[in-house]
Amino acid sequence: MSLVDGFSFATEIRVRFAETDAQGVAHNSSYFVWFEIARVEYLRTFAGGYQSLRDRGLEAFVLETHLRYLQPARFDDKLVVHTRCDGVRGARFRFDYAIVRDGETVADGWTSHACVDRATLRPARVPEWLADAIATAESSSASSVPARSSSSASS
């Protein structure tokens, strides 16, 4: 699978029957689940996984989401969710997404996040190790990292 220009990572998913409505079209809420799958896989690939944050006493809350539907995804479609992370400032960072089927974008969007202390839920600066991992992933040399297929893609 090749990457969409400007994106550093991609993971495959397949639209499951449970994610569709009576017409076999993916339910609008499924796209946010696919964003999360891609985000978790991105962190696993470049930053040791989301659990690394939790093990170090942090959480990353979703602050805001945006999704633009361009074409319907349908049951059993194979989709590629392209992901990149930017905008690391203070406690905040943002992921961008493009969901592609057969070379055509079916949806795109973004999610913004904030790191918080796990115990107090107070904002905490994005740790240096995570900021460095994101910078490495998003650097021009990291754009040659091959896209990965998510283990949940065959579910």
List of E strands, 15-103: 58-69, 78-89, 92-101
Q: What share of the chain is helix, strand, coil (3-state, %, to 5)?
A: 30, 40, 35
CA dihedral for 90, 44, 122, 62, sign (positive or negative): positive
* Residue 21 annotated as catalytic: yes
Whole-angstrom Cα distance, residue 50 to residue 144?
Answer: 23
- Would you say 155 and 18 are in contact if contact means Cβ atoms under 8 Å apart? no
Catalytic residue among 5, 21, 77, 102: 21
Per-position b or e across 68-105, b if 16+ CB within 10 A of its CB = eeeeebebebebbbbbbbeebeebbbbbbbbbbbeeee
Q: Which residues are catalytic?
A: 21
